[in-house]
Chain A
Amino acid sequence: MNPSDEEKLTRWIDGDLPDAEAEELLGRYPELRGEKEAAQKLAGLLKSELGKEQDIPFPDFFNHQIQRFIEEEKQSGAPHAAYGEATEKSLFPWFTFWRNLAAGAFLLLLGFFIGTAFLDTDGQEGSTVLSAYTPNPAVASKLFYSDAARATVLLLDGLQAIPASHTITGHDTANYRPGTSGMVPALYSVGKETAYVLVKDEAQIPTVYEVDLAVPPLRNAL
């Protein structure tokens, strides 16, 4: 496809190409018609599945995923590396790229809305969960309000069971005040027998360590 045809193609997609020129273009590139129809079907599917406007849950993460998708497309060489090569399967690789991008965005959106539960809160007086997102796709969330318990309930199904041999304990943890820069200090139990130390790694993933304050060096350190 020469540059002139590319420019016509862009105008045709935008609906700005006169009919006569469009027919002439399609006469030379009949494959275009199918490409456009496929793109239009995808657009219709997007509209029907996401008919009403809705905020994307966790937009930063969503944008990050879109960005990653684009980067992966770039690294895979599509569309530019294949552009104009004799071996390319499509005459219009960049068209395919945008179609793939739209399809990827659609799948991401669909995944987000499947993984995100929304609670109809009309008329509810108690606490409300506006959205719940379970990053693990194997985990499903179910939201409801229990009138009997006067509580909002978020049930997570599909979580891996914790082995019975694993000991789980807790404490009556006392209120803390953040340190400088919002840092989390040691979290003491009310009786100061123990303390939790919350440490985040470079990826900001927290781990809580339990400190037995009966050990003198630790008591002194805290």
Chain B
Amino acid sequence: MRTAGALAAFLFPFFSLTHGLRAQETSAISDAKCWGALVYAHDEEPAGASVDGAVEGDAHFSGISARLSKVFSEKHFALLGQHTQDIFREYESWVVPSKELFLKVDSKGPAETGGMQLHIQLWHDKKVIVKTDAILKHDSPLFIGGPKWREGRLVFVVMLANGG
């Protein structure tokens, strides 16, 4: 972490100059809100032990965790990070619960059958792991089973958030 902080400290002035981080926000129109979470599905014991780096899950995540257990064989699901983000009509949107795995999301507008049409890219280590065209509906998550890590695997969960 300290190394990353030092690296960021070194690089940040450059970013500030070249990318104008202080730039004014636009009045971008949001098509929807999207919730993305990086989850570590694992069997590590003792059961329920906290995982390094995990953030505290709320009641919402408890519900998602129960649904994950219906699909994945692992016993435990630790929330490593989460991000609820507006999905903009005219701009790409990024859902970044972790710097390791994150989403690029492009809105394709409301779907005729309800929900939102989205083009989603899952990025890891400067590469796109998967590109999908999806229709996301409320209370209907998309589970993306990702790479193996330690005693389990990483799962990216994405769904429309309330208010979206």
Q: Chain A: residues with CB nearer than 8 A to chain B?
A: 57-58, 125-136, 139, 141, 146, 148-157, 159-162, 164, 166-180, 182-187, 196-199, 205-212, 214-215, 217-218, 221-222
Contacts and interface: CB of A to CB of B under 8 A. Distances in A.
User: B interface, how many residues as a size bin?
Assistant: 35 or more
A150 B71 CA distance: 10
Given A130-B135, A162-B149, A168 B142 contact: no
Nearest to B146: A156
11 contacts: A58-B131, A127-B136, A129-B134, A149-B67, A151-B143, A162-B149, A185-B21, A187-B96, A199-B15, A211-B5, A218-B12
Interface string B99-115: 11010100000000001
Contacts of A172: 55, 81-83
A180 B21 CA distance: 10
Given A182-B92, A221-B21, A135 B150 contact: no
A197 B8 contact: yes
Interface of B: 1, 4-5, 7-9, 11-13, 15-16, 19-21, 23-26, 28, 33, 38, 40, 52-55, 67-68, 70-71, 79-86, 88, 90-94, 96-100, 102, 104, 115, 123, 126-137, 139-150, 154, 159
B53 A209 contact: no
A197 to B, nearest CB: 6
A212 B82 CA distance: 18
B98 A168 contact: yes
Contact of B8 (A130, A170, A211): A211
A214 B9 CA distance: 11
Most buried by A among B9, B23, B24, B96: B96
Contacts of B84: 175
Contacts of B55: 170-172
Given A149-B71, A179-B23, A218 B130 contact: no
Given A149-B143, A162-B147, A205-B126, A167 B52 contact: yes
Closest 4 CB pairs of A and B: A170-B81, A169-B53, A126-B140, A170-B98
